[in-house]
Structure 1
Amino acid sequence: MGTVDSSSPKLRRSLTTPLLTLYGLGVTVGAGIYVLVGATADVAGPFAAFSFLIAALVVSLTALSYAELATRYPVSAGEAAYVEAGFQRNWMAVLVGLSVAASGVISASAVAIGAASYLHALTGLGTAFLTISVVLVMGLIALWGITESVFVAAVITIVEITGLLFVIGWGMSIQEPQGYAISEMIPGLGLDTWRGIFAASLLAFFAFVGFEDIANVAEEVKEPKRTIPKAILLTLVLATALYLGTSVTVLLVVPIEVLSTSSAPLALVFSNAPEAIRQGFAAVAIVATVNGVLIQMIMASRVIYGLADRGHLPKILATVPQITQTPVVATVLVVGTILFLTQTLPIGTLAERTSQIVLGVFVLVNLSLILLKTRPDAAGLHFRVPLFVPILGVVTSALLFAAGFL
């Protein structure tokens, strides 16, 4: 217990820095920014872009800790492996695994609501019906064992990024924007202003959730000790630039009273655009959000299956019928939970809960690295960060977690 075997990888190492960065962007960029700009603006007002900046700062510290841990232990076990190695407690690894699964379920619920909102704009059908339809269709795909290759994920990523660049370009070209002037987006020193910014940062943080999935494909990366740190940092830099550009554009173009109540905020930038452009962007947004639902479903069901297969959850959850060769019972449980959450909780609450769970995992991951750094280093050559990085990672993650209660 407490050791991670990284000497005998079972998977083929084929991912290079560009492919791994595209994978990282694919699981980071998309659903969060496409769905949550409105909810963030509802809390932070014209200063929502600063909330994304603060979230990026918190994420970057923990990302550096992930970079070292993933090069110490380049295996697919991810966060559970790091926590087990650091704390040398099997039950803590199980707790982290369950937390990661829970974050995937709640995240998929939030994203499904956003996908339904974009579909509503395209079809006019009821959002409740569309939400249920999205969850069920994605659940059927997950049941039949759809496995996306990195190439397909890269294509989807390019579509998502192109959509965000189009939002920025179109919004900045509007002659008479209805939102805030750029000068009004710079906060003063008032306590209430910054309380709102920090509280909204918990929502903005949701848009960055996913970069840590890079660690879960570490066993398939060429030269992981060099490739993983580069890919993690490139993913965060590019995502932050896209998020800042997008949030500033939406605040500039859309009136705050309209923006703050929308579950499909980016579509509002095109409210006066030709019909073909509105429909084209709605299709891009649907691809971005629906893909997020599917990825989180598959991830959560596999974590639950893995825990059940190791005896930590009821064995029935590890059932894999020969006809599908997928964890059917675990997937049905995930789909049912997502359906329940989408019909009972609003998107903002779901995003906050996802963020809080992930921040809790971040605290444990950073603490694991602190503990590992106090012991003799048997991992050999790997990417290293100074001790103050995981310490600040613990502090900032805990503070952002607490900001949700402001």
Structure 2
Amino acid sequence: MSTSISPERNDSDAAHLASLGYQSEFKRDMTPWANFSLGFTYLSPVVGVYSLFAYALATGGPPMIWSFVIVGVGQFLVALIFSEVVAQYPVVGGVYPWARRLWGRRYAWMTGWVYLVALLVTIASVVYGAGPYIAATFGFTATVDTAIICSLAILAVATIVNFMGTKVLATAAIIGFTAEIIGALAVGGWLLLTHRYHGLDVLFDSFGAGGGGSYMWAFAAAGLIGVYQYYGFEACGDVAEEVPDPGRLIPKAMRRTIYIGGAAATFVCLALVLSVADIPAVIAGQDTDPVSTLLDQAFGPVASKIVLAIVLISFLSCAMSLQAAASRLAYSYGRDDMIMGSRFLKKFSQKRHVPPYALLVAAVVPAVIVIGSKVSENALAKVISFAALGIYLAFQMVVLAALRARLKGWQPSGKYRLGRWGLPVNIAALVYGVIAMVNMSWPRTPGAPWYDNYIVPLSGAVVIAIGAVYMLVHRTYGRSDAPYDDAIPKKTNV
């Protein structure tokens, strides 16, 4: 595939951006394939499925796999709304500039704040989650100290890749996507061909998961594996100023991330479910790590190391893509003079064509969170609990802003438009998002202290409260003169 970009294309993209009030310093070196790969590696089917498979199978049994279908449809609706917005406003930073143009400065500040905190926490959770796999790959005991060292090593590699510029990031994203999709197909295919213990009918058998109560509650809890899987498509829009013809290509990349990433995740999960020999043992808590057990049985000690190496590449690629998204958001904040430290966040390296200080934020904050696990792993778990809720909340703040703007007269004018389907899709996307957030926040540990039982909504409330206090004390957003609230047609006096 040719990566050359015609001068006419560059001029057209620059003119569109100028009409939105910006002159970009980024280079449009990210091909459509690389843009899709960035979203795919952020979504990361391998990381999502391998991290939550044991919990989901133990909680809901094999039928938990259907959550991938349900959530995939819901998030596809969200991606359609995002596609309309990014096509009209292809500005670096994603949800923050979208909310800014759809609603206003204060609303955008809070949307971006929630999303930025969630991204930084997610980076920490991904690199920390890679620790046990690194230990298994290289044959040492996983401890808190080794987990921290491994996490910081992965974070350092991801940061170096990001500092090398858009072209290197794009190449790394493609390599990560290739390794992950080949690994998913190869591992899943091998398991289904050589190690399958069950037929498809098992996907309708709960094996008694959920106890004697209604299975719906067990399925809702286990369905978090699907809820936590389907985000990453928005990263395609976070780098909008690094993609040629973004109004046309980014919506395509977002949609492909959903259905290709979702299909890969579902396939991996299907292969694992059908290949677990003793599902009742997993549900009973006798086998707490069915993935490692299965890989050792199916591949043996040598081949399983190769599989684990592919898994590690997936963790690295995911961290790298998350860091790229977080740094572009922080840079976007700084460029609009919206937050304390903006003069550093908006600095740009003309040599590498990246925002260096924004990238440092996306490296240092996750590193501090990871190092904090030395003091308390329980505290780390509480911090990480906000990650998925924060991302979903930021998504729904954009969906809500789009619905409000649409009802006030906004007519999407980008290269991608839903037309008459816009309003019903927008409403359905919002309804889905609210249900998903309620499911994430639902208390499910009645024996735990109340603050642990409600840790997810409490963590969300704390992040929002801190943001609100900052906005009250330090009204930086009010000094920003970058364009805002221009999606809705303004009434003119005749």
Q: Under a length normalisation based on structure 1, what TM-score does the superposition of the two structures give?
A: 0.85
Correspondence for 1:326: 356
Partner of 2:133: 118
Structure with larger RCO (C-alpha < 8 A, sep 6+): 1
C-alpha deviations, 1:355-400, integer Å up to 9, x for none? 2111111211111211222344576343122211111111101001
Q: What CA distance in whole angstroms lies between the structure 2 residues aligned with 1:263 and 1:157?
A: 29
Are the aligned partners of 1:35 and 1:264 in contact in 2 as well (CA < 8 Å)? no
Q: d(CA) in 2 for partners of 1:31 and 1:18?
A: 21
Paired AA for residue 123 in structure 2:
A
**Which amino acid letter does the alignment assign opposite residue 74 of structure 2?**
V
Moved more, 257-266 or 30-39: 257-266
Q: Does 1:79 align with 2:95?
A: yes
CA distance in 2, matches of 1:204, 1:167: 20
Aligned to 2:487: none
Shift of 1:5: 5.4
Unaligned runs of 5+ in 1: none
Select which of 356, 367, 370 maps to 1:335: 367
Label 1:13 to 1:295 Cα distance change in 2 as closer, same or farther (>3 A): closer
Contact 1:36/1:203, CA 8 A, preserved across alignment: yes
Using the alignment, how far apart are the partners of 1:281 and 1:208 within structure 2? 23
Q: Deviations over 1:119-178 (max 9, x none)?
A: 12122222422320123224444665354421221011100111111221121123563x
Which residue of 415, 418, 437 corresponds with 1:401?
437
Q: Gaps spanning 5+ residues in structure 2: where?
A: 1-16, 207-211, 444-494
Alpha-carbon distance in 1 for matches of 2:342, 2:134: 38
Q: Provide the C-alpha distance between the structure 1 equivalents of 2:55 and 2:396, rounded to a whole number of angstroms.
A: 25
CA distance 1:108–1:41, shift in 2 (3 Å): farther
Indicate the residue corresponding to 1:206 in structure 2: 228
* Preserved CA contact (<8 Å) 2:124 2:366: no
Displacement of 1:291 in angstroms is 3.0
> Could you tell me which residue of structure 1 aligns to residue 170 of structure 2?
150
Q: Bigger CA drift: 378-387 or 348-357?
A: 348-357
Q: What is the CA distance between 1:316 and its match in structure 2?
A: 9.5
Q: Which residue of 2 is the match for residue 243 of structure 1? A: 265
Give, in angstroms, the shift of residue 350 of structure 1.
6.7
User: What code does the residue aligned with 1:219 have?
Assistant: E
Residue 288 of structure 1 pairs with residue 314 of structure 2: yes
How far apart are 1:271 and its partner, in Å? 1.3
The question of whether the paired residues in 2 share the 8 Å contact of 1:34 and 1:265 is answered with no
Using structure 2 for the length normalisation, give the TM-score.
Answer: 0.71
| More off after superposition, 385-394 vs 307-316 | 307-316
Take 2:394 and 2:38, find their aligned partners in 1: how far apart are those partners?
Answer: 21
Partner of residue 271, structure 1: 296
Q: Which moved more, 1:372-381 or 1:256-265?
A: 256-265
What is the deviation of 1:340?
2.3
User: Judging changes above 3 Å, is the alpha-carbon distance between structure 1 residues 162 and 48 closer, same or farther for their aligned structure 2 residues?
Assistant: same
- Structure 2 residue matching 1:274: 3-state secondary structure: helix
Q: Which has the larger radius of gyration?
A: 2
Structure 1 residues 176, 252: closer, same or farther in 2, change over 3 A? closer
Distance 1:6 1:320 in 2: 20
Kindly tell me the number of residue pairs found equivalent between the two proteins. Answer: 400
**Equivalent-residue separation in structure 1 for 2:348 and 2:91 (angstroms):** 27
**Distance in 1 of aligned mates of 2:333 and 2:288:** 34
3-state SS in 1 of match to 2:92: coil
The answer for the alignment partner of 1:64 in structure 2 is 80
Cα distance in structure 1, aligned partners of 2:362 and 2:263: 37
* Residues 391/341 of structure 1: CA separation in 2 closer, same or farther (3 Å cut): farther
Q: Tell me the residue number matched to 2:10.
A: none
User: Is the counterpart of residue 380 in structure 1 residue 380 in structure 2?
Assistant: no
Q: Indicate if the aligned counterparts of 1:104 and 1:296 stay in contact, CA closer than 8 A.
A: yes
User: Which residue among 370, 393, 403 is the counterpart of 1:360?
Assistant: 393
More moved, 16-25 vs 142-151: 142-151
> What is the distance in 2 between the residues matched to 1:300 and 1:127?
28
CA RMSD of aligned residues (A): 3.4
Change (3 A) 1:209 1:224: same
Shift of 1:279: 0.9
Shift in Å, 1:301: 5.3
- Structure 1 counterpart of 2:311, which letter? A
Name the SS for the 1:75 alignment partner.
coil
Paired residues of 1:206 and 1:351 also in contact (CA < 8 A): no
Q: Structure 2 vs 1, CA of residues 66 and 318 (structure 1 numbering), >3 Å: closer, same or farther?
A: closer
Identity %: 20
Find the aligned partners of 1:37 and 1:315 in 2 and give their Cα distance.
41
Distance 1:13 1:143 in 2: 20
For residue 60 of structure 1, report the CA deviation from its aligned partner: 0.7
**AA of the residue aligned to 1:23:** L
Match of 2:209 in 1: none
For residues 227 and 167 of structure 1, the distance between their equivalents in structure 2, rounded to whole angstroms, comes to 31
Which amino acid in structure 2 is aligned with residue 61 of structure 1? L
1:167-217 Cα offsets, whole Å, 9 max, x none, are 21121123563xx542121268x9822222222333422222211101112
Tell whether the 8 Å contact from 1:267 to 1:281 is kept in structure 2 after alignment: no
